[in-house]
Amino acid sequence: MTAKKLIIPLVMAAFIVCLIVPLLSAAAQRPQDKSKQAKSEERIFIPKEIKAVLEEGLLTKQGRRDIPVSIFYNLFLPARENLHAIIFLKIKNSGLGFSPVGAAVAPKTGKISGPALQEAVAQETVQLQASFNVFLEFNRLEKGEPKSFREAYVPSSAQVQGGTFDPEKEETYAVGYPLPPGQYLLALAVTSLDLQKIGTAYYEFTLPDTASFTKELETTPVFFVKQLEQMEAPETRTTLHQGYCTYSILKIVPNLEKVFVAGDNLDIFYFIFGVQPNEQQKFDLEVNYEVKKGDDSAIRWTLQKYESPLVSQPLPLKQTVQIKTGEEERTEQRDLAPGNYTLIIKIDDKVSAKSVTKTVDFEVK
């Protein structure tokens, strides 16, 4: 239970901050703040040559592969006046021009190559770094037609330790951006510093109108967490992160593969929409968690109660089994055996009497 005691207060603090502090300057999007919006870093113009490349593949969603990049998943969490959309992408190392930190590099491309790079890569004590540009164009889909809505320029960098560098590996990155509800087609470009190498990718996603959840409960996508840390303050600009994402004052390393090993916890993270407070303005939520393998129950935890719709909950992957020796019977806790399982989450709002059930598949190796 120690992990739960550490995580829950941390998440509650983040929830309070996200309600009070507009994430990523979301307040600047209000109509009365147009002058501030024009000056915001989020509105930096995408160079016309990059915009032209993005528009070339917009209707067919066919990306350019000078720098191999793909978008494979998205999450969203509540934010003041918007939703905090988190986009996950993969970029191939060989496309980014990694070079040793502090080494002499080409001024435009920001990289070195040939024997000097090979020698540096072989040294485990040498850190390699790549600097590059990321451009985001969020298009609203209106009757299936994309209309440019928001755009952002994200100066980016990545680091990897020499000796572990694999040019063929695709590293995972995440970027968060505040958006109102709607259907979107994201056009994303990754470029070299001189804009000569360009990789593009396209991704459709939907952000729900959370105000419509009045007759039923709904949740954000339920995801698993590998690591969760508190930052000193929320981010105030759009940033590309290597291997993790951020939400308010939280730095989150998600387990997007949904794969676990013996001794792990199912650390889950999600938000519940449509809940109602009682007369004392407090929430009263009850959640039952169960793991099934096919139709058979594998683990059933004790009922959990929450006073917040933002949930961070560690669930130990331990089974209680009955062991009979002769005439004696005893119970024993064992790690969940390898296999494919389904986590079932049954949520009840005791104030409104509304409920919802969610399922998430995962694997134990």
**Residue 143's Cα: distance from chain center in Å?**
28
Q: What is the predicted pLDDT for the residue at 31?
A: 36
Check pLDDT > 80 for residue 28: no
> Model confidence over 122-131: pLDDT tens digits?
555 689 999 9
Average pLDDT of the segment spanning 166-190: 97
Please report which helix (H) or strand (E) contains residue 117, including its range: helix 115-121
**Which residues have CB under 8 Å from 101's CB, separation 6+?**
126, 127, 128, 129, 159
Q: What kind of fold does domain 2-227 have according to CATH?
A: Immunoglobulin-like (2.60.40)
Question: pLDDT class for 331, splitting at 50, 70, 90?
Answer: confident
Query: CATH number for the 260-364 domain, one of 1.10.10, 2.60.40, 2.20.200, 1.10.287?
Result: 2.60.40
Contact 39, 57 (CB under 8 A): no
Contact 274, 213 (CB under 8 A): yes
d(CA 20, CA 6): 22
DSSP-derived letter for residue 221 is P
- CATH 2.60.40.10 residue ranges for the chain: 2-227
Question: pLDDT class for 6, splitting at 50, 70, 90?
Answer: very low
CA Rg value for the chain = 23
Burial 212-233 (b: 16+ CB within 10 A, else e): ebeeebbbbebbbbeebeeeee
Check pLDDT > 50 for residue 361: yes
d(CA 365, CA 341): 11
d(CA 170, CA 67): 11
Average pLDDT of the segment spanning 96-102: 89
